[in-house]
Amino acid sequence: MIKDGESIILDASTTVLEIVKRIKDRKELTVITNGIRIALELFECEGITVLMPGGRVRKDSVPLVGDFGEELLDKYNVSKGFFGTKGITIKEGLTDVNEYEVQIKRTMVKKSKEVIAVFDYTKWNKVAFTSFASIDEVNKIITDRKASQEAINVIRNRGVEVIVC
């Protein structure tokens, strides 16, 4: 899904970190991330440029959070954004637990031409503290084989492509 020459957003989630391990060979790829672990994982990749919005460091998944990075995001056009989530429902959309991290995720979602949510079966039909994207803003979902087929069908009926790996 990630091609040479693209510009993408990667959030700081551990699920998105797994994607990073598979894209290190890309060329002329620009990655915008608020994840310090993600930036470090890509640090020595010759063909990848990493941009990071500023902010305060949180200790859990080591993201930079706060509104310091919104100006950086306003400057760029991004083809795809990949986002982990703590929960997904039709009503609340994609949700997460930290208000400050959600703030930057909302901006990242708005800057992504294509929004791709990446999460496992445990996140379906769960709601966390606050929402960062509505179902209508999500273009694709990548999930695992343990996900409920009923939940997948409900999302597909809303026009979201669901890829089961």
What are the sequence ranges of the domains in the chain?
A: 7-164
DSSP state of 93: E
Span 40-50, average pLDDT: 96
Residues 6+ apart with CB under 8 A from 52: 32, 33, 34, 36, 39, 64, 69
pTM across the whole model: 0.94
pLDDT at 117: 98
Can you give the pLDDT at residue 75?
A: 87
| CATH assignment of 7-164, among 3.30.70.20, 3.40.50.10470, 3.10.560.10, 3.40.630.30 | 3.40.50.10470
Instruction: Give me the pLDDT at residue 7, please.
Output: 98
pLDDT in tens, 78-136: 999 999 999 999 999 999 998 888 998 999 999 999 999 999 999 999 999 999 999 99
